[in-house]
């Protein structure tokens, strides 16, 4: 099977994974949000900040190093597995011991017990890193999709079941712990590799020389994502963090569905093309063009239907409307810029990616520290503005590395953007005309239908070849493996 066909099939199965996982996650999250309310949702979001930061040091960037390496020996796999496992155990013990001091420091007594249980996920997740990297390197995205869906459904069943039984905040903790267990078990069943004892200093150094920059990049990315929740939860309150979490949860889910569907395949694909800049350039352009066709109307559409969507929940979630609208605008630019990082890393420049991430993080922390004094709406707006101001910098680095023609690259986004803006105007007009006669559920459903139809019609008029190209990729993804051309 050619690399192009592998990449297309990888996108298809990653789409199955992302759509299935995130749709289930959203259903579970929204159900629990209605049952538990903003404050309890905010409390778990706050606790997850500490776990997310420690998880970076458990992974140590080895997974990306295993995917990126051209020549991989068994010793690399053994070394990565045992180093991650030991780190996961050490970090879990450390978090459990420090849970009470952390709770006292931030004046949140409920936090200690939550952290002690969530610490278990660090151990469990560490066992999954190497098998997952092997499957990604081999582009076995079907197995990864199956694992993700099984784990998400299992976690959702436990979370909802515990909520129905009245366990409150612990239903969210149970959901997260169940996901870790099911995900790790599914990965080990899907992978034929089993760890040996071939740990060596040479293999560690070879992985660490690349992984240290990946760990740095991941650290900075986590700081970017978690600095807002940390400051909001600390200085504004748990309920405010719950409102922010509602809007941010939708942003994350839509980003995974419409962007990481392709981005998940980007690093292994770009890495195979790292010595052919023209093919990598074409792959990057194709990935961003296909992503913009789905992501632009999805995010702009989410902004226009936010009042009706949040209206489905209990009344105390109303402050999330403005947050959702602002963060949806951030999703537009993020949907196409997320590919720059994998391209830079695939070119063997993790230090460049780290430098970009460091400058972005410093600006982000500064913006959040200032904005948090004016409330969560200003925090969301500052986060969004920073995203647009930062976007040109990694693009210029990609231009230097692979010779990307920036004007042509930007022009490919004009058609889906124009069609999306027309769609927004049509949906907004329909809401104005019908809002007084339909209930929230009917108005939301009709708005989504009108948006889909109007966007597809506009895009077909403005850029008729785009839809045909997308359908061709779908056909290739669904074609049986035995019919694929051989290299």
**Mean pLDDT score across all residues of the chain:** 83
Check: pTM over 0.95? Answer yes or no. Answer: no
Of 367 and 470, the one with more pLDDT = 367
* Residue 262: pLDDT band with limits 50, 70, 90: low
Q: In terms of DSSP H, where are the helices of 37-119?
A: 38-59, 62-68, 74-106, 111-118
Q: How far apart are CA 83 and CA 105, in angstroms?
A: 31
- In this structure, are residues 72 and 199 in contact, taking their beta carbons and an 8 Å threshold? no
Q: How far apart are CA 63 and CA 7, in angstroms?
A: 19
**Residue 232: which of 376, 81, 28 has the closest Cα?**
376
Reading the block at residue 370, the tokens are 């200032």
Q: Distance between the two ends of the chain, CA-based, in angstroms?
A: 6
Of 379 and 141, the one with more pLDDT = 379
Q: In terms of DSSP H, where are the helices of 347-463?
A: 350-371, 376-390, 392-402, 406-411, 414-434, 440-462
Of 68 and 24, the one with more pLDDT = 24
**Which DSSP category does 485 fall into?**
P
Q: How far apart are CA 11 and CA 291, in angstroms?
A: 11
Q: How far apart are CA 101 and CA 27, in angstroms?
A: 35
Exposed, middle or buried: residue 438 (CB in 10 Å: 0-12, 13-18, 19+)?
A: middle
How do residues 402-447 score in pLDDT, each as one tens digit?
888 889 889 999 999 999 999 999 999 999 999 888 888 899 999 9
| Mean pLDDT score, 71-97 | 88
Whole-Å CA distances, 169 to 94, 111, 245, 467: 23, 11, 15, 45
How do residues 110-140 score in pLDDT, each as one tens digit?
999 999 999 999 999 999 888 888 887 776 6
What is the residue whose two structure tokens read 């051209």?
A: 70
- In this structure, are residues 186 and 151 in contact, taking their beta carbons and an 8 Å threshold? yes
């Amino acid at each position: 099977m050619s690399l192009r066909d592998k990449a297309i099939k990888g996108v298809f199965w990653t789409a199955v994974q992302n759509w299935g996982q995130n749709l289930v996650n959203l259903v579970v999250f929204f159900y629990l949000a209605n049952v538990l309310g903003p404050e309890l949702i905010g409390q778990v979001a706050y606790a997850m900040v500490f776990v997310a930061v420690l998880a970076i040091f458990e992974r140590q960037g080895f997974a990306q190093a295993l995917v990126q390496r051209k020549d991989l020996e068994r010793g690399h796999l053994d070394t990565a597995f045992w180093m991650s496992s030991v780190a996961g155990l050490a970090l879990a013990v450390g978090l459990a011991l420090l849970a009470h001091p952390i709770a006292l420091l931030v004046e949140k007594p409920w936090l200690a017990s939550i952290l002690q249980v969530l610490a278990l996920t660090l151990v469990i997740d560490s066992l999954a890193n190497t098998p997952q990297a092997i499957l990604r390197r081999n582009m076995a995205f079907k197995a990864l999709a199956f694992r993700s869906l099984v784990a998400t459904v299992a976690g959702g069943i436990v979370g909802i079941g515990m909520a129905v039984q009245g366990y409150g905040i612990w239903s969210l903790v149970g959901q997260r712990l169940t996901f870790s267990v099911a995900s790790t078990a599914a990965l080990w069943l899907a992978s034929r590799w089993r760890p040996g004892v071939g740990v060596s200093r040479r293999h560690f150094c070879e992985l660490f020389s690349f992984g240290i920059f990946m760990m740095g990049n991941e650290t900075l990315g986590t700081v970017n994502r978690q600095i807002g929740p940390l400051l909001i939860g600390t200085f504004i309150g748990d309920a405010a963090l719950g409102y922010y979490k509602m809007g941010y949860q939708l942003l994350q889910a839509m980003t995974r569905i419409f962007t990481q569907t392709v981005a998940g395949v980007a690093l292994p694909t770009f890495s195979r093309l790292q010595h052919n800049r023209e093919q990598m350039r074409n792959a990057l352009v194709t990935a961003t063009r296909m992503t913009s066709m789905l992501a632009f109307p999805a995010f702009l559409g989410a902004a226009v239907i936010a009042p009706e969507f949040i209206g489905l929940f209990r009344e105390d979630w109303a402050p999330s409307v403005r947050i959702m609208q602002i963060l949806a605008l951030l999703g537009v630019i993020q949907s196409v810029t997320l590919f720059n990082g994998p391209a830079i890393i695939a070119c063997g420049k993790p230090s460049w990616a780290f430098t970009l991430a460091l400058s972005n993080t410093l600006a982000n922390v500064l913006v959040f520290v200032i904005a948090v004094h004016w409330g969560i709406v200003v925090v969301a707006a500052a986060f969004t503005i920073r995203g647009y101001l930062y976007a040109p910098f990694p693009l210029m680095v990609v231009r230097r590395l692979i010779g990307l023609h920036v004007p042509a690259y930007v022009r490919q986004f004009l058609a889906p953007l124009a069609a999306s803006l027309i769609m927004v105007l049509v949906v907004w007009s329909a809401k104005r005309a019908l809002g007084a006669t339909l209930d929230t559920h009917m108005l939301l459903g009709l708005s989504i239908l009108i948006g889909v139809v109007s966007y597809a019609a506009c895009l077909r008029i403005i850029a008729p070849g785009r839809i045909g190209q997308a359908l061709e990729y779908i056909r290739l993804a669904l074609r049986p493996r035995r019919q694929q051309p051989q290299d």
